[in-house]
Amino acid sequence: MGLENLFHGFQIAVTPFNLFITVLGITLGTIIGVLPGLGGANGVAILLPLTFTMPPTSAIILLTSLYWGALFGGAITSVLFNIPGEPWSVATTFDGYPLARQGQGGQALTAAFTSSFVGALFSIVLITFFAPLLAEIALRFGPPEFFAIQLLTFSSFIGLGGGDPLKSLVSIVLGFILAAVGLDIVTGQLRMTFGFVDLMKGFDFIVAVIGLFGIGEILLSVEEGLSFKGIRTSMNLRVVLDTWKVLPRYARTFVRGAFIGFWMGFKPGGATPASFMSYAFAKRFSKHPERFGKGEIEGVVAPETAAHAAGVAAMLPMITLGIPGSPTAAVMMGGLIIWGLQPGPMLFKDNPDFVWGLIASMYTGNLIGVLMVLAFVPFFASILRIPFAILTPLIVVICAIGSYAVHNSMIDIWYMVIFGVVGYVFKKLDYPLAPLVLALVLGDLAENALRQSLIMSQGSLAIFVTRPIAGAITAVALLFFALPVLTPWWRRLRGNPTVAHET
């Protein structure tokens, strides 16, 4: 049934007006993605009242195109300035920014955009042909399964970074503590707010990341006396073609990233952990794990493929189950209701034109999107040629705007400054920042899922073992936790101390 419906969908999506809407949406989305703090969810929410006068299919095409644009755009500032424009771009900074520092910003951006497209395509194809089946699988995931997934994400990342294990531990714990500030949703009590109204809303992940990575990095680079001035990036589109020549080498990473992204993304809260997990797996399975974090193209490919695959997959529960797979999808779902459509299992039957028009527009939107952003790679890369004394304050201003925009709150700009100093000090003292950020983003979700599970089981931990899906994922997670201990033992057993991981 898929192909016939898809063809019908293309007839709806490929009209001049809808194509124009697509280009408009992607342009706006890319701008929103570039500006940290102004995420896809904000962008969609802002445009929502304007879509009121459009036919629903055009309206959803505009909003989804904006979302694709935001997904593409998130990588730009991550690579160029170490500022993740979106939470799922955090892992892209690990290797993207070092590449830009080495004058390979164009290559990193090309890799990021291409990976995004590949990841998206993978998810769209799956949605086209297996949407109802996948929705049933998604339904099987309750709180215990969610917790198991969070555990798996964390375990895949742990033990990866070298350095002082004590300091890594402090970093993780600090992330979890920051995540716990605010209202405890399970009991409705306020935690660690000490009566301060400003602490009640907790620490936003984006604000922390803008400070730790963005501002922290600026302070570090001025201290090192490095200005962005010395960076030479090629100004023509050759860089895109040259990068494409090396990308097939990472075919496995693409597949793995797309798979992880899709699998994590069709359940809520997936894109960010997916990008981290994909990065972790790429490093684990790489022949040169030591190159990661110093400017390895594969370290850009992995998280971007997963993030975009997850971003697309987040649309699946919206159209099949009526639950949003991401904050952006949540706002779109509000849109559906306002346009007079009912999101959920009946959408495929009641509004086939809408659903298949939307699915077809995912293909066109992502294709147009990747071509548009790739065409601008030389332009983006040349931003780094702006003199240092202009670029630095400009970045600070944009970071401030971004921090404010997250919650429209002044205190967040101060948090940004504080996190900036913390990021600078931590980086100098070799406290790794990635575990802190991961703990901050997962902490809330993981604790909620764990406690919901325990309420369901009336306090018994057995719930993570007796449920088949949760049990299997937990087992894999525990295996990963044990891996640093098991690996040397395994190597000794095989009598080959230099054997590398094989997939």
Partner 1 sequence: MKLEAVLAIVLMLLIAVPASAAAWEPTKPIEFVVPAGTGGGADQMARLIAGIAEKHKFSPRPLLVINKAGAAGAEGFIDVKGRKGDARDHTIIITLSNLFTTPLHNNLPFNWRDYTPIARLALDQFILWVSTTRPDKKDFKTAKEYIAAVKEQMGKPEQMKMAGTGSAQEDQILTIQLEQALGLKFTYVPFRGGGEVCVNLVGNHVDSTVNNPIECVSHWRAGRVRPLAVFDTARIPVGEWKDIPTVKEALGADVSYLMLRGIFGPPSMPKEVAAWYVALLQKVSETPEWKKYMDDGALKPAFATGLEYVKWVEENETLHKELMAKGGLLKK
Partner 2 sequence: MRAADITTASVLLLLGGVVLFDAARLGIGWGTDGPKSGFFPFCLAVVLIGACGAILVQALRRSAQTPFVTRERLAPVLTVLWPAVAMVALVHVAGLYVASALYLGFYMRWAGRHGWTAVVLCAVGVPVLTFVVFETWFMVPMPKGPVEAWLGY
Residue (19 or 183) nearer to partner 2, CB: 183
Residue 469 near partner 1 by CB under 8 A: no
Residue (196 or 490) nearer to partner 1, CB: 196
Instruction: Find which of partner 1, partner 2, none residue 200 binds, CB within 5 to 8 Å per kind.
Output: partner 1
Give exposure, 2-13, as e/b (b: 16+ Cβ within 10 Å).
eeebbeebbebb
Tokens of 37: 């703090």
Q: Give residues in contact with partner 2 (CB under 8 A).
A: 28, 31-32, 38, 42-43, 46, 164, 166-167, 169-170, 173-174, 176-177, 180, 184, 186-187, 189, 191-192, 194, 215, 218-219, 222-225, 387-390, 392-394, 396-397, 400-401, 404-405, 408, 410, 413-414, 417, 420-421, 424-426, 428-429, 431, 447, 450-451, 454-455, 458-459
Residue 323 near partner 1 by CB under 8 A: yes
CA distance 310 to 267: 9
- Classified as helix, coil or strand, 313 is helix
Residue closest to 292 by CA, chosen among 309, 310, 278, 274 = 278
**Binding to partner 1 in span 252-271, by CB under 8 A:** 268
Instruction: Find which of partner 1, partner 2, none residue 268 binds, CB within 5 to 8 Å per kind.
Output: partner 1
Residue 317 near partner 1 by CB under 8 A: yes
Instruction: Find which of partner 2, partner 1, none residue 176 binds, CB within 5 to 8 Å per kind.
Output: partner 2
Calculate Rg over the CA atoms of the chain.
22
Scanning 20-28, 30-38, 199-207, 233-241 for contacts with partner 1 by CB under 8 A, the matching segment is 199-207
Instruction: Find which of partner 2, partner 1, none residue 313 binds, CB within 5 to 8 Å per kind.
Output: none
The burial class, CB within 10 Å (0-12 / 13-18 / 19+), for 291 is middle
Cβ atoms < 10 Å from Cβ of 472: 13
CA distance 482 to 323: 35
Residue (131 or 442) nearer to partner 2, CB: 442
**DSSP summary character for residue 151:** H
Residue (289 or 322) nearer to partner 1, CB: 322
Q: Are 354 and 56 in contact (CB under 8 A)?
A: yes
Instruction: Find which of partner 1, partner 2, none residue 331 binds, CB within 5 to 8 Å per kind.
Output: partner 1
Q: Are 134 and 320 in contact (CB under 8 A)?
A: yes
CA distance 155 to 214: 26
Q: Are 391 and 218 in contact (CB under 8 A)?
A: no
Residue 216 near partner 1 by CB under 8 A: no
Residue (241 or 394) nearer to partner 2, CB: 394
Residues listed for the chain: 503
CA distance 364 to 356: 12
The alpha carbon of 34 is separated from its chain's Cα centroid by a whole number of angstroms, namely 14
We find the least distance from the C-beta atom of residue 330 to partner 1, in angstroms, to be: 3
Q: What contacts 128, CB < 8 A, 6 or more positions away? A: 2, 6, 359
Scanning 103-111, 214-222, 319-327, 394-402 for contacts with partner 1 by CB under 8 A, the matching segment is 319-327
Q: Which residues contact partner 1 (rule: CB under 8 A)?
A: 41, 45, 48-50, 52-53, 139-143, 182-190, 193, 195, 197, 200-202, 268, 317, 321-324, 327, 329-331, 333-335, 337-338, 340, 342-347, 407-409, 448, 452, 455-456, 458
